[in-house]
């Protein structure tokens, strides 16, 4: 017993007319007093005959007696479709069977249902109802064959997701030095400055001017979990702060850098808004230059000592009052980098040679008894895990100029059918760091 509750087929519709999405389904209903509804559901002969459609109630008020009886909606369009034992039960126990028309409209169907109803048969199986949500923006990657329907698809996504105010479609690959892509507005407001929340942090940025990937939130959390609150983290390609800000809120001191001036601008804003400006130092320069002088700059100008978990505004005020009556803390400022984060998967490996000699500065050998960890994101075309490991390690070793004896490899996500994103984490070899041949 099944009812066809699919939307009407409107193949080729390119301008949304919501009134066209209507469907009337004749069914059978049984009239019962309200006191009988609970026991009715338990009756053996009534199993599997209640209407079973998403977002449709199986019990409705009786239009002929709104204050009295109820209509139990059945999953059949005619009495003859009911099993004999069910029909006998209803004739004995109910106050009669009546015809009922189930009215479905645009509001009933999901975005996937509606999109499938407007595209040709051969395109329905993989119709594009999915999107990435960044703040109030739904970001879609619509394939070429669906482009004739892109604006109606965008409007449907907008209608069916209350948190979405803007729907955009990516136009090209990320192929420029700032990792941003062109986009077109499909539906909604042309407002691209978003307020995004992740890992108990608040991020503000212009989605058209900076790089952000909401699908990387688990990778952000994974790496930040590896940091100790006392650590100093050097984020080479920091973007607007998805690693830097959560790490700082954990207690880490952070050197956060990005070449894109817009990223650096919003990074500084996010550092301020999340109240971690005292432990985050923002810069806007080439990643290679940042790596080469990060150690020496931190030695010359250390970051504040770890002072415990991030406090609320009231707790900070109490701490300030308390410090007025107590001697200054004897904790030492932080002058040693524990982790380098390199989240630029398309080319981060090409920057690994910049690590050569970063500890050859005076006094570094006295401080760096343990070498920093490097977390380098990258792509590979090798799908087999072992082949991917060989490929990534080989490229990293060639660029850094030394074998990597202590490393781990983590599969971040599949980017495309033949493209995987990994993170290789390794301890910086002393011979590289001190530039010893």
As annotated, the binding site includes 220, 258-259, 286-287, 343
Residue 292 DSSP one-character state: H
What six digits make up the tokens of 72?
């139990």
Q: How far is CA 58 from CA 48, 70, 93, 96, 386, in A?
A: 12, 10, 18, 17, 54
Helix (H) or strand (E) segment spanning residue 134: strand 132-134
SS3 call for 148: helix
In this structure, are residues 124 and 113 in contact, taking their beta carbons and an 8 Å threshold?
Answer: no
In this structure, how many other beta carbons lie within 10 angstroms of the beta carbon of residue 212?
24
In this structure, are residues 342 and 377 in contact, taking their beta carbons and an 8 Å threshold?
Answer: yes
Q: Which residues pair with 282 in a beta bridge?
A: 256
Q: What is d(CA 211, CA 202) in angstroms, rounded to the nearest whole number?
A: 16
State the residue for tokens 């990516």.
170
What six digits make up the tokens of 174?
């990320």
Residue 123 DSSP one-character state: G
SS3 call for 36: helix
What six digits make up the tokens of 26?
């004749």
Q: Which residues sit in the known binding site for S-adenosyl-L-methionine?
A: 220, 258-259, 286-287, 343
What six digits make up the tokens of 73?
């909606």
């Amino acid at each position: 017993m099944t009812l066809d509750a699919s939307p009407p087929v409107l193949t080729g519709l390119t301008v949304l007319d919501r009134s066209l999405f209507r469907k009337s389904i004749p069914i059978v209903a049984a009239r019962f007093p309200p006191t009988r509804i609970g026991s009715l559901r338990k009756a053996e002969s009534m199993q599997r005959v209640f209407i079973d459609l998403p977002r449709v109630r199986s019990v409705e008020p009786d239009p002929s007696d709104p204050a009295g009886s109820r209509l139990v909606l059945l999953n059949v369009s005619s009495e003859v479709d009911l099993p004999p034992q069910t029909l006998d039960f209803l004739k004995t126990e109910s106050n009669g069977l009546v015809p009922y028309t189930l009215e479905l409209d645009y509001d009933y169907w999901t975005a996937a249902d509606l999109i499938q109803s407007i595209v040709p048969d051969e395109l329905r199986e993989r119709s594009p109802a999915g999107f990435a949500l960044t703040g109030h923006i739904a970001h879609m990657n619509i394939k070429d064959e669906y482009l004739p329907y892109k604006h109606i698809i965008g409007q449907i996504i907008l209608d069916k997701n209350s948190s979405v105010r803007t729907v955009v479609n990516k136009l090209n690959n990320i192929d420029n030095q700032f990792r941003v892509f062109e986009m077109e507005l499909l539906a909604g407001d042309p407002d691209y400055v978003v307020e995004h929340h992740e890992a108990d942090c608040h991020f503000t940025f212009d989605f058209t001017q900076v790089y952000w990937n909401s699908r990387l939130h688990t990778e952000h959390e994974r790496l930040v979990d590896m940091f100790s609150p006392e650590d100093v983290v050097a984020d080479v390609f920091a973007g607007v702060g998805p690693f830097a800000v959560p790490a700082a809120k954990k207690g880490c001191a952070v050197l956060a850098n990005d070449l894109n001036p817009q990223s650096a601008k919003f990074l500084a804003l996010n550092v301020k808004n999340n109240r971690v400006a005292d432990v985050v130092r923002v810069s806007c320069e080439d990643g290679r230059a940042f790596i080469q002088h990060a150690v020496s700059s931190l030695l010359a100008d250390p970051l504040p000592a770890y002072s415990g978990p991030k406090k609320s505004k009231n707790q900070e005020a109490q701490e300030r009052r308390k410090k007025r009556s107590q001697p200054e803390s004897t904790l030492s400022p932080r002058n040693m980098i524990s982790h380098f984060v390199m989240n630029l998967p398309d080319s981060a490996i090409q920057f690994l040679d910049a690590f050569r000699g970063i500890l050859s500065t005076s006094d570094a050998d006295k401080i760096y008894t343990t070498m920093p960890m490097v977390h380098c994101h990258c792509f590979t075309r090798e799908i087999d895990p072992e082949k991917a490991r060989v490929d990534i390690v080989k490229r990293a070793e060639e660029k850094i100029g030394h074998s990597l004896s202590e490393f781990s490899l983590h599969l971040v996500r599949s980017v495309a059918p033949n493209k995987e994103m990994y993170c290789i984490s390794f301890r910086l070899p002393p011979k590289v760091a001190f530039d010893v041949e």
